Chain A
Amino acid sequence: MKVGLFIPCYVEQFYPKAAIATLELLEKAGVEVAYPLKQTCCGQPMANSGYEEFGQGASDLFRENFAEFDYVVCPSGSCTLHAKEHILSNKEGEPKLYELCEFLTDVVQIKELKSRFPYKVGLHASCHGLRGLGLARPSELMVPDFNKPLHLLEMVEDIDLVHLARKDECCGFGGTFAVFEEAISVQMGKDRIQDHQEQGVAVITGADMSCLMHLEGLLRRDKSPIKVMHIAEILNGQEPELKNQ
């Protein structure tokens, strides 16, 4: 099983800890992972803005980079979904794309984690992973309940997971939406944070760093003590950087 690691462009540049945690987590699970160094981005920012054609170069590069692998794993539901829908079409001989949580749950079928996280945690359900990839049952659908990211978090020792009033409402990031519809984007983010705050969380986690980047931006501007961490960091047993708590 040859597994290639795809790290989203902004994670590569701004959130290396999430990427390192992803790699270590996969290695600990006994997966042999390679990270092709010539990778950039899946092209989603261009495509979602209506310029699919300008994302074509990035798509071609993605295909080239991962042609030799059986699986591509990515710690982002959104980038995985975009690549699944617009780059790799699940044809015979093409690598199979997985978001990290679904790869650990469905392919590795992980049964236990040796990590501890004694903090109050709110799980943010990122939309593309949730509704696009089916990482969990969206609250709209009347199907049997399941939740892959939550299932993984529940394996972490001493973790205190909270229940949110709106368990899967969008945070308002939405890529370039965050900039072009700034006012709504910010309000949606604030409303999400308030839900977590009311449950008294120390950390907000999720399977998409982009949503967390948006929420972190708001939290830090507000000088809130709440931290954001990618789910891989918690699963990998990283400590949160809680200052003077």
Chain B
Amino acid sequence: MKPAPTHAAAAEEFLKDSERSHWHDETLWHVRSKRDVSAQRIPEWEQLRTLASQIKDHVLSNLDNLLLQFEKNAQANGIEVLWAKDAQEHNDHVLRILEENQVRQLVKSKSILTEECGLNHFLEDKGYDVVDTDLGERIIQFNKQVPSHIVMPAIHLKKKEIGDIFHKHLGTEAGADDPKYLTEAARQHLRQKFIQAHAAITGVNFGIAETGGFVVCTNEGNADMGTHLADIHIACMGIEKLIPRAADLGVYLRLLARSATGQSITNYTSHFHRPRKGKKMYLILVDNGRTKQLGREDFRNSLKCIRCGACMNTCPIYRRSSGFSYNSTVPGPIGSILSPGMDLNKHSTLPFASTLCGSCSDVCPVKINIHEQLYKWRQVITKEGPPQTSKRWAMRFGGQVMSKPRLFDLMGKMARKSLSISPRGFVYNSFNAWGKHRELPEVPKETFKDWYRTNRNDDK
């Protein structure tokens, strides 16, 4: 699907296929419900969230020192640590490593950071065959799409569509949509790729400053399969993915999978500390706008995100508009507070793609005040984003009316009068977005103020 310029337009487009949008909503609501059941089983759930949030507070306040500690310990373990100030530097590092080690074949497990950096396209342009090994990512890679969800990248596709994609790319039987058959085909296909690969790229869920090690969580074991077979392991990590101590890890592992899918823990939680004998391990620490976000007091908490996707599953707007409507690497509520910091103009409609219902903040395992940050981005966007003359004018006028009681009473009277005498076609015109599918309220005989003056007020 070609991304539309505003979230509202893209959402409207997605909703035109009502069967699909309803299915999308139900599917993700089901995941949210599984999260609820799973979280309910932990009596100290809310304490865990608070603790996770506080630890991240500590990390964000001490990021400079913790990163240096992490680097030192990782180096002592024999990991080569590289720093990247932006996506370009990150991609250049990866390319250099591949060239230096004469790697031609590489496999990659899921990493939203590499999506953010556009690594696949960068390497493909240089002639590399990059194979995504996460099942969902492989599907969308075949389909030339980007992830529509950070945990379930192909959640926008139905079984039947995946069958068609596999038929085209893996030669499975036409029309097959049995998940077991299709995943077996993917398994056989990926086995070959794992065996052939010289390098494996992974993301990082948690870097541990105290040990210099890092943790990668997957459900398919594809990160392990890749790193165990390849000589080179390149781990790409956003600098905010740090936690201070190994002892803190349990807090996050208990929250992550439960929040993401309702599982008690990811199927594979792999701890990497040092390269095996004769093998190499690289760790690229990427900034790409994160220090800037850290410097924005109102928005720094967004860096606590552990990428569980719970805010997407709960968001009534995400569920009904799908990830593509956000036109940003990280979609949904968390994407709507992260992306404007990367490109305010491109993402200026995202903070408005919310009713500020607050469900995102309440499911967030690290208690990011997402909906409050959406509100705050709105204040920034009206000042620094693309100009919206008519909306601004309307709001200024509204503000003036609301600050003068007599004017308010008068304008109210006029509006009520014109609504009650105007012909229907005049009121329900093409500029009346409210009235496209909704009636306006019926105009009552009197306002509350009128009634109060007659029935209660003694001095007027």
Contact = CB atoms under 8 A, between A and B. Distances in A.
A binds B: yes
Contacts of B403: 40, 56-58, 60-61
Contacts, number: 213
Contacts of A217: 434, 437-441
A220 B396 CA distance: 32
B1 interface: no
Size category of the binding interface on chain B:
35 or more
Interface in B349-387: 352-359, 361-363, 375, 378-382
A12 B447 contact: yes
Contact of A48 (B29, B356, B363, B392): B356
B448 interface: yes
Interface string A52-67: 1111111011000000
Contacts of B250: none
Interface stretch (A100-108, A150-158, A185-193, A196-204): A185-193
Nearest to A183: B12
Interface residues of A, number: 75
Nearest to A14: B441
Given A169-B316, A218-B437, A37 B399 contact: no
Nearest to B362: A140
Given A38-B405, A180-B8, A181-B353, A127 B395 contact: no
B449 interface: yes
Contacts of A175: 355
A174 B438 contact: no
A236 B209 CA distance: 61
Interface string A154-195: 000000000000100110111101111111111111010000
B109 interface: no
B252 to A, nearest CB: 17
A218 B11 contact: no
Contacts of A16: 444, 446-448, 450-451
A169 B316 CA distance: 7
Given A170-B316, A179-B434, A45 B354 contact: no
A184 B357 contact: no
Interface stretch (B140-148, B230-238, B452-460): B452-460
A9 B408 contact: yes
A216 interface: yes
B443 interface: yes
Given A141-B46, A181-B8, A184-B320, A37 B441 contact: no
A20 interface: yes
Contacts of B450: 16
Contact of B448 (A20, A43, A61, A127): A20
Interface in B305-334: 314, 316-317, 320-321
A154 B171 CA distance: 61
B447 A13 contact: yes
Nearest to A55: B399
A141 B403 CA distance: 38
Given A37-B453, A51-B382, A174-B355, A61 B395 contact: no
20 contacts: A9-B408, A14-B441, A20-B448, A20-B451, A37-B405, A41-B402, A49-B391, A50-B381, A51-B395, A53-B399, A61-B405, A127-B357, A127-B359, A142-B40, A181-B11, A181-B352, A182-B433, A184-B8, A184-B15, A216-B441
A44 to B, nearest CB: 10
Contacts of A124: none
A11 interface: yes
B436 interface: yes
A1 interface: no
A31 interface: no
A214 B21 CA distance: 21
Nearest to B450: A16
Given A11-B448, A56-B399, A217-B440, A181 B408 contact: no
Contacts of B401: 40
Interface string A194-226: 000000000000000000011011101100000
B16 to A, nearest CB: 9
Contacts of B400: 54, 57
Interface of B: 7-8, 11-12, 15, 21, 25, 29, 36, 39-40, 42, 45-46, 314, 316-317, 320-321, 352-359, 361-363, 375, 378-382, 391-392, 395-396, 398-405, 408, 412, 415-416, 433-434, 436-444, 446-453, 456-457, 460
Given A23-B452, A50-B379, A217-B434, 10 more contacts: A11-B448, A20-B451, A37-B452, A48-B378, A50-B381, A50-B382, A57-B403, A142-B40, A216-B441, A217-B440
A178 B359 contact: no
B437 A186 contact: yes
A90 interface: no
A202 B112 CA distance: 47
Interface stretch (A91-99, A114-122, A131-139): A131-139
Given A180-B352, A217-B438, A43 B399 contact: yes
A12 B449 contact: yes
Contacts of A88: none
Contact of A170 (B352, B357, B439): B357
A35 interface: yes
Contacts of A183: 8, 11-12, 15
B457 A37 contact: yes
B412 to A, nearest CB: 5
Which among B317, B382, B399 has the highest number of chain A CB atoms within 10 Å? B399
A54 B433 contact: no
* Closest CB pairs A-B (n = 8): A57-B403, A174-B355, A217-B438, A54-B399, A50-B378, A140-B362, A50-B382, A131-B358
Contact of B460 (A37, A213, A214): A37
A143 B44 CA distance: 10
A19 B42 CA distance: 43
Nearest to A58: B402
A24 B453 CA distance: 15
A197 B358 CA distance: 25
Contacts of B453: 37
